[in-house]
Amino acid sequence: MSARILRGNVIRDQIREELAEELQHLHGAGIRPGLAVILVGSNPASEIYTRNKVKSCETLGIHSERLILPEKTTTEDLLSRVEELNGRDEIDGILVQLPLPSQVDSKRVLLAVSPDKDVDGFHPVNMGNLLTQRPGLVPCTPAGILEILKRSAIPIEGQRAVVIGRSDIVGKPVALLLMHHNATVTICHSRTRDLPEVCREADILVAALGKPGMVNGNFVKPGATVIDVGISPLTDRAEVVRFFPGDAKRMEEFERKGSTLLGDVDPVSVLPLAGAITPVPGGVGPLTIAMLMVNTVRAARLRRELHAASGSAQPTVPVAS
């Protein structure tokens, strides 16, 4: 028996339909959420990511601006751009595309983004809101993982969840979200002893360690749900054959592009064991941009609710039911 495939593209489309309905309400109230995406330099992958984010905004009717700055941009230059965007009321979300060039202090730049416009959810204020279950902006990939689980009717409450990886971007926030939904959560990392044994306790296993194909059948309890967050290019033919034996579609892609994508999970050994699994590509990835759109709309709503609470004349934003 093979695992049920949890297709992120389908869930992304559901979220887009719901957002389109909510945006109709916002437009009717004279509000068009706005997102500014800052790209420094000419990293090819970052250029693709930022274009896709702007394209998603255009599809939904969210105002978007893509600011492309020179490779030699300094920390002070970037801080000045962020401060300008912080002060623009038509911009509800600011996203600084990572990685930044080595001369830029990434931590200073991310900290400079106003917490109420931090649609990545990385600011310490938003992390604190997540920790204490207050309203705020949640990191996009962890939020997308929760949507996959909930919309796929995967039980969370009372389940054992194991997260491999303790990054601020995925590991820690997804562990908090699972805990807030009443899972019993273990976070594993490079110093965890007997890692496969710990992972085999999981009803929900989240692989977010950035090591392609490391999680094999020895890590997985039969029937577990496996969420594969990793995404790495395979450029070695022998590796493609090892991880995708007999997969003509993968080999055709490799011949055409010179690479194919692999997550942190070895599909050959895990698929026969898992009860459900996210594919790579087409699993968690599509939800990251979808949740960025959700955060942009949420930021627009939260900002105006705060204005209203402080006595501003700005209207509160109706929420689509």
Type and span of the H or E element at 303: helix 285-309
Residue entry with tokens 């309203």: 135
Q: Which two tokens stand for residue 272?
A: 């026969």
Q: Does residue 53 have an active-site annotation?
A: yes
β-pair type (232-234, 260-262): antiparallel
Q: Is 251 exposed, middle or buried (0-12, 13-18, 19+ CB in 10 A)?
A: middle
Question: How many C-beta atoms lie closer than 10 Å to residue 54's C-beta?
Answer: 17
- Please check whether residue 37 is in contact with residue 54, taking contact to mean a CB–CB distance below 8 angstroms: yes
C-alpha 162/C-alpha 278 separation (Å) is 16
C-alpha 33/C-alpha 138 separation (Å) is 17
- Please check whether residue 140 is in contact with residue 127, taking contact to mean a CB–CB distance below 8 angstroms: no
Catalytic residue among 92, 116, 118, 120: 120
- Please check whether residue 189 is in contact with residue 211, taking contact to mean a CB–CB distance below 8 angstroms: no
Question: How many C-beta atoms lie closer than 10 Å to residue 225's C-beta?
Answer: 27
Q: Point out which residues pair with 221 in neighbouring strands.
A: none
Type and span of the H or E element at 225: strand 225-228
Question: How many C-beta atoms lie closer than 10 Å to residue 47's C-beta?
Answer: 15
Nearest partner of 95 among 136, 165, 35, 183, judged by Cα: 35
Q: Amino acid letter at 253?
A: E
Q: Does residue 236 have an active-site annotation?
A: no
Question: How many C-beta atoms lie closer than 10 Å to residue 133's C-beta?
Answer: 9
Q: Does residue 133 have an active-site annotation?
A: no
Q: Amino acid letter at 273?
A: L
Q: Which two tokens stand for residue 25?
A: 């309400």
Tell me which residues are annotated as active site: 53, 97, 120
